[in-house]
Chains A and B, each alone.
Chain A
Amino acid sequence: MIFKFIDITFSIGTERELKNPLSGLVNPGEVLVVRGPSGSGKSTLLRVLSRLQTGSGGEAFLEDKSWSGIPGPVWRADVHYLAQKTALFDGTVAENLAKPFETRLTGGRRAFDPSGARELMEKLLLDNAMWDRDVRTLSGGEASRLAFVRSLAVDPRVLLLDEPTAALDERSREAFYLVLSRWVGQNGRAVLLVSHTEDYKQLSNSIRFLDIETRGGI
């Protein structure tokens, strides 16, 4: 087991609530797919697990260490959340990839590896010529793949992906799952994946499921 969470609860609006507290676990090399209808709190679960917001109860563990014993910034870097809405920083593609290493934590762990990033970009069908382009000129699909490369470059232990392929076409989707499969398979990593579609079947890793059920609402 690399990552597990027990009895996580949070509010998802005034009219709806979780039917049951949420628990789950992933072993190294595994992917946990989180399923549930729109508005059931899939994104919120990932945000709570990465400590971008606080839930109302429950506990998560990274390799048997409870999150209560790990400082927020360290936890967020290790249990890294990649948002569905791509958030890039003003500047070029290269500046975006290097930006995380400006933090004392990530920059202190390792230096930015431009050639590794270029290699990943190529595998994701991103032209290396865009290295110096202003990120505001990227298409939605290019931007979301760039954000994915940026997240992999900081090398989190657990990657929380929120609809990562929503903006991608068929070909880049295949490339995405190929890169993700290989990444999860190495160095004892794991992934939590929120997805509307069944594209995750392209993954060659072993897959677990968590279904979120809610009560009330429409």
Chain B
Amino acid sequence: MENSTIPISNLQLAFSVLLVLITGGISSFLRLGLLKSLVWGAVRTFVQLTLVGYALTWIFQIDSPAFIALIITVMCYIASRTASGRTPNVPGYPSAMAFAALMASTYIVGLIVTVLIISPQPWYSPRIVIPIFGMILGNSMNGIAISLDRLYGEARSRSAEIEAMLTFGATPWEAVRGSVREAVRAGMIPTINSLMVVGLVSLPGMMTGQILGGADPREAVRYQIVVMLMIATAVAIGCLMLVGLSYKKLFNSDGSLQPFVLQSRK
């Protein structure tokens, strides 16, 4: 059969340890000090993905939209913690806002894609919904983390101009409009760039996976087009929402800048 998956046996999987040995060899030869992290990372990859494989097998048999929604909500929660946790310019950011932005962008775009475009039977079919929502989340998580970080960074470096606008009677929104624009732009640029070069520089992971799995490349490409566009939309919505929710945090109730914006980064 030409169009079918070639399964990887246990023995074949074990051969991939060879790859780890090569990487480890480079690391110890150059004394990069990465050997321990590399081994630990490799072990985690094996264990986490094996467990996810079992979990997905189980989840794919579930026939309850409510439960699938719960799983997606948990995914959004984990993503929002990650997005707001790794932003050096934003100390102590409440991840509730990131959660709200991710929930909204993921559900809006995810539902359009699953219900309207792919429309599996039933429409909440977890085999489709979970990977699609997961891809949206993974990308918008990075997008909102970048734009959140940029918003705070911009506000800090432009605090004198923002205050000058305030002295002319500007509302907080009028005073930070420029920084908000920069922040949304920064969050969207990686996604826009990937729209430009997709298929030219690299084949996206999902498409590669489908082709290796035996799918017709022309079919795989159709899926990939939908995926690229949905990611771009989700990132745009997520960045806009989060930045729109967060800019007010830079100001106090009187509409002047919070002291932390005026101080050096700690």
Contact = CB atoms under 8 A, between A and B. Distances in A.
Contacts of A54: 252, 254, 256
B47 interface: no
Contacts of A85: 160
Contacts of A151: 167
B256 A105 contact: no
Contacts of A103: 165, 168-171, 174
Given A54-B252, A77-B168, A87 B161 contact: yes
Question: Helix, strand, loop or mixed for chain A's interface?
Answer: mixed
A154 interface: yes
Interface in B128-177: 160-161, 163-171, 174
Interface residues of A, number: 29
**Most chain B beta-carbon neighbours within 10 Å: one of A52, A54, A74, A99:** A52
B259 interface: yes
A83 B163 CA distance: 9
Given A87-B160, A87-B164, A77 B256 contact: no
Interface size class of B (residues with CB under 8 A): 10 to 19
A154 B168 contact: yes
A103 B172 CA distance: 11
Interface string A151-192: 100100000000000000000000000000000000000000
7 contacts: A53-B256, A77-B167, A82-B167, A87-B161, A103-B165, A103-B171, A106-B168
Interface of A: 50-54, 71-74, 76-77, 80-83, 85, 87-89, 99-100, 102-106, 147, 151, 154
Nearest first, the 8 closest Cβ-Cβ pairs linking A and B are A77-B169, A105-B169, A100-B168, A87-B160, A72-B255, A87-B164, A103-B170, A72-B254
Given A74-B169, A83-B164, 4 more contacts: A82-B167, A103-B169, A104-B171, A104-B174
